[in-house]
Structures are given as C-alpha cells and as structure tokens.
Amino acid sequence: MEHFRQIHFIGIGGIGISALAYLALAEGKKVAGSDVTDSALLEDLRQNGARISIGHNKKNVTDDVELVIYTEAINPESNPEYQETKKREIPVLSYFEALGQISQTKKTIAVVGTHGKTTTTAMLGLALMESGLDPTVIVGSKVREFNGRNIYIGSGDLLVAEGCEYRRSFLSLDPFGVILLNCEAEHLDYYKNEADYIKAYIELIEKIPSKGFLVANMDNENVRKIADYCAGQVIPVQAKDVDRLKLKLNVLGDFNQLNAVHAYKAAEALEAGLDDIQNALENFEGTWRRMELKGEFNGAPLIDDYGHHPTEVFLTLRAIKEKYPKKRLVCVFQPHQYSRTHLLVEEFKGAFKFADKVIIPDIYEARDSEADKAEINAEKLAEIIRQNHPDAVWGKGLDHTYDLLKDEVKSTDILVTMGAGNIGDLADRLAAS
C-alpha cells in the first residue's frame, strides 16, 4: 500500500479488512470505503478520518482512487464497485493479497489452524508487546489492549497475523514463522476433502525459510504430518507443556491453556523475555466474541462466543460448564452456512454434550446454493441433535428465539449464544433487556 495515497476499501467494516484501513490511515493516506450496514467499527474509522459510504455503488469509487482493496465476502461478479474498478483498470487487491504484500516487508509470524487462531494471535501479539519488541498485530477480533480495535500498529520489524485457510487465503502470506494449532476438516464447500485441506497447510509450511520456525501441536495427527514439510526449526507443543508452564490464565478452557503454550513458545523463539511473556498471557482477558461475558439476561450470566465448528462448540461449552458446574446451561447456537452444517452434521450430533438445553434459531446463509439449502435446515438440525441430546428445539428465527428465552431462562441458569453469523445481534439485544 506504500505506493498509493488514496485507497478505497470494499467491505471496509469487515473484521479483517478494517485493520488495513486503520493501517493506511496511520500512514497518512486518504481512506474511503463502503459496506452494507453501519457499525461501531465504521464510526470509529470515520472519527479517524475515513470517508464511509453505506451501500455499494459504483459512484463510491471516486476519480482520485489509486488502489482498491476488497473483502472476500463480496461477490466480484455482481459488486458494482468491483466492476467499476476493473472497468477503469484501477489496481485491485483482495484483503489477503494486500496483507500478503505487507507481510513481505516484515518478519511475519502467521497463526493458523481450524480453531483458536484469534485468541492465540492476540496472546502472541501481547507477549511481544510486553517484551518491548513492538510488533504490528492483525487479528480477527477486537482486543481491549488494542484500544478495542483489531490491530496494533508497532514500530518494530515483526508482524503477527491471523491466517485464514478458506480458499487457501493464507498462502498470500510470506511467513518467517508459523503457529499451527490444529488441523481438522473444514470449509468443505471449497476443499475437495480432508486431504486437500491438509495439502493447503503443507503449502504454507513449505514457505517457512530454513532459518524460520514452526510451533506445532504435535498431539494432532494431521499437524504431525504437516510438520514434516518444514525446512526450519520445528518447536513441538503437547498437552504436557500446560502442566510444565503452569500459566494462571484469566481465560477459560483447557484449549486456551494450549493456545497460550503455543504463543509462549513462539514468543520465546523470537527472544522475548520469559517473565514478560508470562505476564502478558496471565493478564490477557480475552477478545470480542470469544467466551465474552456480555452481561445478564433474566438474572443469568450471558456469554457470547464466535465458535461455529463442532469441536469449538464442544470445547467451549465444556469450559463454561466447568466454570459454572451447578448452573443449567442454555445454548443458543446459530450454525454458519448450510453447506458446512450439512457436511459436519454427524459431528454436530455430539457437540452439545455439556448443554442442558439447545436452541437452534436458524442457519446463517453465506455462500450457499439452493442445493445446499435443500439438504438441511434449522428444524431438521434440531431433530438430528435430539438423537444424542434430550432437549434440542428449533427456535423459529432470532425474534422468536428471543421470545422463547424470556420464559425459558432463569437466574439460576447460564445463557450462551454461539455462532459466526448475526447471532451476536441477539446477544446484544439480550444484554440490553
């Protein structure tokens, strides 16, 4: 981005692409962007000098635009701003292509895996900051220590970036080091099968230079296969390391203990001070929508979480149940994508073991075809979950689910909303009640 003075961002409110908008503003560039709905994040960008348009229109691509960066959430074939950009032959990059170009100018540490990326990215970034290494950190969530933003802009030569495997997007990165947390079949609407999914990770690991490193969860069978392709140092992580380090974390869950060990070992490899690493990890209070305590509803604690893969759901609910063992756990889960839900339906059957009641309000549509939607729906998913769970019901939409919860939730319960779609809006509504 350093060669351009005026940049337009299509989908500027996205949790990833907005970080690049903040970075461009910090570098003194003129920033404009558009998105379909307004948000607190967009208002913050406005306050920092960005010109924001609500709605996509070719007129948003003004005559002075020198570069366009777009989110993969749009459909380039139908988006009027993207089409106008191509018509006028303006240079254009996807978010991940732009992030990849930035990574070429920094010593980049990519945090990847099927789940746990956001928390681990924040943990590593904070550990390096505490040690005075002053990295730039780009994470897929808002972090309190980053002034509630999804980016920390440092002056050092390190870049810590959360990498996304969808459509092999993380291959745009140029990593010196990689944290590989886990590898389970995911995004099967894009990948042919699990072997194809694993191959994408191998392609990323093969980019690590001989002087670089891979911090790898060696308890994961797929990760062990992938690690064989690393030309640099392989730094193993196992569950026994949790007991060895004995970190006293504020965030819940055995999986977060393991996330912290990955961050610890990566920071150690980058020569951060061990006391600084420990202090940062133990003071970390989590990120937005990762087991975030939103407040109360009907006197019950309300927790909102981004988890949408069956393993994430299972581990998150287990951690919450361990924290509140005597409370009845009511889980409102919004599956993300019809295709993912259908392909992982067998795994979802057992994902709600630690919930006492499960409500499926709807399925959030994203990149789904009519054929995908014909295979599964929220009512059918609730019926399937009931095969392994005594109390799973269809919520008949977010509004009807809200009405159900008014009568269902008691002060002796714990209420959890989960999903990667717009379930967070329901959490906000519940917290404000």
- Flag whether pLDDT at 286 surpasses 90: no
Specify if 366 maps to a domain: yes
Provide mean pLDDT across the span 293-301.
96
Residue 36 and residue 66 in one domain: yes
Q: How far is residue 80's CA from residue 429's CA, in Å, rounded to a whole number?
A: 33
Q: What's the pLDDT score for residue 3?
A: 87
Query: Cα-atom radius of gyration of the chain, to the nearest Å?
Result: 21
β-pairing verdict for 300-305 and 413-418: parallel
> What percent of the chain lies above the pLDDT cut of 70?
100
385/249 same-domain check: no
In a domain, 398, yes or no: yes
Pair 26, 166 in one domain: no
pLDDT for the residue 186: 87
> Which letter does DSSP use for residue 422 in this model?
S
Does 1 map to a domain?
no
Q: Has residue 55 got a pLDDT over 90?
A: yes
Q: What is the CATH number of the domain that holds 213?
A: 3.40.1190.10
In this structure, the answer to whether residues 26 and 91 fall within a common structural domain is yes
Q: How many CB atoms lie within 10 A of CB 246?
A: 8
Kindly give the pairing relationship between strand 149-152 and strand 136-143. antiparallel
Tell me if 360 is assigned to some domain. yes
pLDDT value of residue 201 = 98
pLDDT value at position 260? 98
Q: Which residue has the tokens 């080091």?
A: 177
Does residue 188 lie within any of the structural domains? yes
Per-residue burial over 1-37, b = 16 or more CB atoms within 10 Å of its CB, e = otherwise: beebeebbbbbbbbbbbbbbbbbbbeeebbbbbbbee
pLDDT at 261: 98
The answer to whether residue 242 is domain-embedded is yes
Are 265 and 359 contained in the same domain? no
- pLDDT for the residue numbered 404: 97
In a domain, 365, yes or no: yes
CA–CA distance, 146 with 361 (Å, rounded to integer): 33
pLDDT at residue 190 above 90? no
Q: What is the pLDDT of residue 289?
A: 84
199: pLDDT confidence band, cut at 50, 70 and 90? very high
325 located within any domain = yes
Contacts of range 370-379, beta carbons closer than 8 Å, 24 or more positions apart? 372/189, 372/337, 372/338, 372/339, 372/342, 373/338, 375/338, 375/342, 376/338, 376/341, 376/342, 376/345, 377/338, 378/335
Prediction pTM value: 0.84
Please report, rounded to a whole number, the percentage of residues in the chain having pLDDT higher than 90: 90
* Rounded CA separation 391/9 (Å): 45
Mean pLDDT of the region 346-354: 95
**pLDDT tens string 243-278:** 999 999 999 889 999 999 999 999 999 999 999 999
pLDDT at 345: 95
Same domain, 50 and 152: no
Dihedral of CA 392/393/397/402: which sign? negative
Mean pLDDT of the chain: 95
What is the helix (H) or strand (E) element at residue 111, kind and residue range?
strand 107-112
Q: Tens digit of pLDDT for each residue in 371-399?
A: 999 999 999 999 999 999 989 999 999 99
More confident residue, 179 or 2: 179
Give the pLDDT of residue 278: 98
Angle (CA) 60-61-65 rounded to 5° is 135
Asked whether residue 134 carries a pLDDT value surpassing 90, the answer given is: yes
Q: Report the distance separating Cα 136 and Cα 16, nearest Å.
A: 14
Any idea what the CATH number is for the domain that residue 321 is in? 3.90.190.20
pLDDT value, residue 288: 80
Same domain, 246 and 387: no
Helix-strand-coil split of the chain, %, nearest 5? 40, 20, 40
**Phi, psi dihedrals of residue 193, rounded to the nearest 5°:** -170, -175
With bands split at pLDDT 50, 70 and 90, how would you rate the model's confidence at 283?
Answer: very high
Cα separation, 76 vs 93, in Å, equals 12
Domain boundary among 63, 97, 131: 97
The answer to whether residues 235 and 320 belong to one domain is no
What residues are paired with 412 via a beta bridge?
A: none
277 and 305 in a single domain? The answer is: no
Task: Give me the sheet containing 67-70, strands edge to edge.
Answer: 51-54, 30-35, 6-10, 67-70, 92-94
Give the pLDDT of residue 390: 85
148 vs 221 pLDDT, higher one: 221
Tens digits of per-residue pLDDT, 23-40?
999 999 999 999 998 988
Number of domains into which the chain is organized: 3
Average pLDDT over residues 47-61: 97
- Are 245 and 299 part of one and the same domain? no
Q: Token pair for residue 129? A: 């900051």
pLDDT in the model for residue 131? 97
Q: What is the pLDDT of residue 2?
A: 79
109-133 confidence digits (pLDDT tens): 999 999 999 999 999 999 999 999 9
Phi/psi region, residue 271 (left: phi>0; alpha: psi -120 to 50; beta: rest), is left
Say what the pLDDT of residue 367 is: 78
- Looking at the fold, whether 320 and 414 belong to one and the same domain comes out as yes
Last residue of a domain, one of 40, 72, 97: 97
Q: Give me the domain span that covers residue 60.
A: 6-97
* Phi and psi based region of residue 83 (left: phi greater than 0; alpha: psi -120 to 50; beta: remaining): alpha
Query: What is the rounded average pLDDT of the residues 152-179?
Result: 96
- The four Cα atoms 320, 326, 332, 338 give a dihedral, to 10 degrees, of 60
Residue 94 CB partners (closer than 8 Å, separation 6+): 69, 70, 71, 72, 169, 172
